[in-house]
Amino acid sequence: MSAASTQGFASFGGKLDGARLERARRSPQFDGKKFVNPLPTQTLVPGTFWQMVRHQIFGREQRVPPSPPPVIARSTADYRTPPASGLRATWIGHATVLLEIDGARLLTDPIWSERASPSTLVGPRRFHPPPITLEALPPVDVVVIFHDHFDHLDMATVRALARRGTRFAVPLGVGAHLESWGIPAGQILELDWGESATVAGLTLTATPARHYSGRNPLRAYRTLWASWVVRSPGHRVFFSGDTGYFDAFVRIGEQHGPFDLTLLKIGACDPTWQLIHMSPEEAVRVHQDVRGRLLLPVHWGTFALAFHAWNQPAEAVSAAAAAQGVALAIPRPGEWVDVAAPPVLQPWWR
């Protein structure tokens, strides 16, 4: 399926200016020139640049699986009957999850493109195809986007979903990218931390995260990043997106928890990036901080984005969850996770 393939300079998106810039200037997260983290944060742990370079060149980890991971193919017909429990998740791959929640459908960070890149020729390439094509995907009410990096905000996928009338909940500033791609303003909900919007009976709240942004290297930190709380009449879900660990998660749990399901990032966890990419062990801690019931790890197993074995995050989160007594589901791409009866944990990644 090649309907989702980024094209040219358009994929770098729009610019924070005009009324959108004025709104950003009123945000506590904006310092007058750029968005900032609540805690001083660098993309690399200080003093680790050359360590990262050596690891990139000399590391011998199996960063790409020797054969494609197993995928459970899905069709439109699979989604005609909603889950009896009211909450079911399908991991599409990386940070993309299709949530069926009390009659509504929500997608997180959808990417159907072959590469997480502005180019169709170079950049991280998928280990496995999406378990369902975009054409077969059932109607989606809303998409939530964590931030504007290419492995989370995919221009071609966004355009394809927008043509179907899907709405988009994005952090402050990210709407500029969508509008530059022709997405009508009426389909975009642009939120600062602490702000909420309601779509299809779901209340979506942008909550803090510790990361950074910038599709265009000349416009770094000019859009916000956010974790997300999804609340329906019967369920609550927390999506961390890309983030380093910090104390905001305890407050999120106090204000918005408990959560029936947490979708927490575990991959790209090289120690040189630990301020902006939490480890699998920290993901288990976040799950406990926000008072989660079932943990579904994301942001791993689809693209080679870090200096560790492709399946190391799954091994680490399995061990950490077992040690802490945390309920864990690590589905194959396309495998259903119903919160009432999650799949038995099987180390398929081995």
> Which range among 166-170, 173-177, 271-275 shows the weakest confidence by mean pLDDT?
271-275
CA distance 168 to 155: 13
pLDDT classification of 5: cutoffs 50, 70, 90 = very low
C-alpha gyration radius of the chain: 19
CB 127 within 8 A of CB 303: yes
What count of Cα atoms within 13 Å lies in the side-chain half-sphere of residue 316?
Answer: 22
> Which range among 33-42, 51-60, 131-140, 143-152 shows the weakest confidence by mean pLDDT?
51-60
- CATH code, 16-63+72-338: 3.60.15.10
pLDDT, position 45: 82
pLDDT, position 219: 84
pLDDT, position 182: 96
CA distance 35 to 148: 13
Is the pLDDT at 91 greater than 70? The verdict is yes
End-to-end CA distance of the chain: 27
pLDDT, position 334: 98
For range 305-331, the mean pLDDT: 96
Q: Tens of pLDDT along 249-302?
A: 999 999 999 999 999 999 988 888 889 899 999 999 999 999 999 999 999 999
pLDDT, position 123: 86
pLDDT, position 349: 96
Is the pLDDT at 47 greater than 60? The verdict is yes
Q: Tens of pLDDT along 126-151?
A: 999 999 999 999 999 999 999 999 99
pLDDT classification of 328: cutoffs 50, 70, 90 = very high
For range 92-104, the mean pLDDT: 97
In sequence order, the β-bridge partners of residue 336 are 90
Q: Which two three-digit tokens encode residue 196?
A: 């909420």
pLDDT, position 269: 87
Q: What is the mean pLDDT of the chain?
A: 93
Is the pLDDT at 4 greater than 70? The verdict is no
Is the pLDDT at 3 greater than 70? The verdict is no
Q: How far is CA 322 from the centre of its chain?
A: 24
CA distance 274 to 246: 11
H or E element in which residue 285 lies:
helix 280-289
H or E element in which residue 88 lies:
strand 87-93
Residues in CB range of 321: below 8 A, 6 or more apart? 284, 295, 327, 328
| Percentage of residues of the chain with pLDDT beyond 70 | 97
Angle of CA points 110, 144, 107, to nearest 5°: 50
For range 182-208, the mean pLDDT: 98
pLDDT, position 1: 39
CB 128 within 8 A of CB 208: no
pLDDT, position 8: 62
Is the pLDDT at 21 greater than 50? The verdict is yes
CA distance 163 to 177: 16
CA distance 341 to 267: 25
For range 44-56, the mean pLDDT: 76
Sign for the CA dihedral angle at 53, 114, 150, 197 comes to negative
Residues in CB range of 200: below 8 A, 6 or more apart? 103, 104, 105, 141, 142
pLDDT classification of 7: cutoffs 50, 70, 90 = low
Q: Could you give the 3-state DSSP secondary structure of residue 350?
A: coil
CB 292 within 8 A of CB 261: yes
Residue with tokens 């589905």: 331
Please give the backbone phi and psi of residue 168, each rounded to the nearest 5 degrees, phi first: -130, 125
Name residue 218's amino acid. Answer: L
Q: Tens of pLDDT along 188-198?
A: 999 999 999 99
pLDDT, position 2: 41
pLDDT classification of 186: cutoffs 50, 70, 90 = very high
CB 87 within 8 A of CB 106: no
Is the pLDDT at 158 greater than 90? The verdict is yes
